Structure 1
Amino acid sequence: MRTLFAGLNLPDRLIRETDQHELAVQSLANIVVQELDRTVQVLDRLRDGLQFWHFPVLRDEESRCWREELEGYRDLLQSLERIRTPGHLRTFAYTEAQVKQMLKGRGILYEYERLQRALESLRPQLELITLGENTLPQNVSWREEVHEVRSEQQQRLQDPAQRLQPHTIALVKGALENLHSSYVEAYLLLHNAERLNPSQDARKQRLIRDPRHAQLRALAALDFLPESELERWEQPLRELVVCMGCTTADLQKRSVCHHCNFHPRSVGQIGQPALDRLEQAERDFGLLYDRWVANLCQELKKETALANLDALTEAQRRPVQSFIASGELPEKLSRELVEAMQDA
């Protein structure tokens, strides 16, 4: 019993002095209350393995040894539950060697709990990395860095001599923080390529509101001008998204921009940057406008169209003839003028 009390950090006098046996029984009961449930819970967790960042912290052999020693300590605590009076102290059946062996599980219990607390202290950093893995596409170089850092930390945490050293946990935390900084750089690079900033969005809005765009939209009603061509120009322009601006500070607690919620994996293959697409749309717009105006003028100069013009009223015919002569459209195309062009 003295070996038991020493192993449980209880005063030796509790078992040595008869008048202390009531207190000895109560002290044992307190230990059982404090540690039996914890031991059972740790055994349950070890069945699934102690996981961190998708790898087991305990290797198979070490996990098996921990379970065996914890089971021995659990059995010891369960036997202590039956000691309810000073007289029961004399019924304690384990030998000194057995007690020493079973008490090894107590050290394992405390080591597991220290390890669990250490790993929990790393959860905030690890959660950001996990979010990053779910956010960035598969082909970014950051994923190679993740693989390297994970392998390094796995070696550290699976080494019993290293894992609970204060500097080890600090090294793991620092590695995770550095990896998150690399994530932020990779994310912002993709974000800034895929989003327009406010000044670029102003260019997009000017293009959309350009009077010539309204002219083309009105002319798309004509049978001989392909509306699909205009839609092919409009579609990528509509898909350009503006963002007020994402900064490093915005990504310290989250994985995506809170302004525009840009999620690279949902976009799929990142292609031409948004600014390049905008500039391409600006170039294509001028070409499209000139081509449509030229085609319209050419169609209206055909003999059939000129003959049909004679069938129109003077009010209908005059603006069409003015366009044919000048090659320039009025800033605002009326529905009547478009219908007259269609009838020509």
Structure 2
Amino acid sequence: MWSSRSSRGTRRSCSLLAAWRSRSPRATPCFSAPASERAPRTAGGVLADALHHAGVPRDVVQLVTTRPGEGRDVIGALIESPHVRRVVFIGSTSIGRRIGAQAGAALTPAVLELGGKNVTIVRADADLAEWIPRLVFSAFANSGQVCMCTDRIIVHHSRADELTRGLAAAADALSVGDPREAEVDLGPVIGMDAALRFDELVADAVDYGARIEAGGRRDSLLVRPTVLTGVTERARFHAEEGFLPIVSIQPYDDDDEAVALANAGEYGLIASVVSRDRSSAERIAHDIRAGVVHINGPSVGDEPHVPFGGLGASGAGRLGGTDSVRFFTEQRTFFYHA
């Protein structure tokens, strides 16, 4: 996982260390963190250095690095080791299925935080002047490379044209370039494979009838934020997680249809419902099959003290707050007899 390792890795590791030390002062736990092959320094190295600098012994927090292509064997060996008591994986569903199977074979408890095809439902009463900037953030944060990013906006048909125009204009206004420069809004995608996949998803969607309202082009790894309409069920982007700065807009007629569209597919990670009618938004939220639902908030956002995780192909298990402490603690029962 390279897209948000600094934040999510910190939460997981600190919860783990706190749980162990609070339960058994004599324990000497070891936390092995495989670094991303794509970004080993920022997605692993910074976290390990910070913990070591804070006084955590180096034999307690270990950073595991591999050459590209070797990670599968190394991580497989770690999971199968009898010394490994818990497994946490944050990443794609395809790799998560394999890691889950390996952990299951070893009878090692695992939490899997996987991909999503996240949706934001915009009801007819939404304040679009307020919400278009939030939708830009939800769809394009970190160039769309966040598991919580919105892939699909499902909007009431009476507001679809207005939202499409506003979102397309906002996307076109974003600057793409070196993220170290203050005036730049979006940086590059992680690698050329991601850039080529952007080309494939957009071209495939257009081939099946979609319209490019904004973006649709790139300069090497600098991908323009892209807004699509008319994405049909035959298009790959209809069902596949993007993990790219692409969002589609789809109209709906009533709340039941909105929920049905939101629940279509195998993923169930995160969703958002936008409405001035809070009771209606809550009713819709309860019907959406997702592990996390925001009501009148962007899809990109979570808090360290509450459980986080997905349903279906978006993962298994929960971490966050007391759920993390429970997961990293082995429950045992003692009977005292006179």
Q: TM-score range by the shorter chain?
A: under 0.3
TM-score (norm 2): 0.17
TM-score by length of 1: 0.17
The structure with higher relative contact order (CA 8 Å, sep 6+) is 2
- The structure number with the bigger radius of gyration is 1
Comparing both structures, which one devotes a greater share of its residues to strand? 2
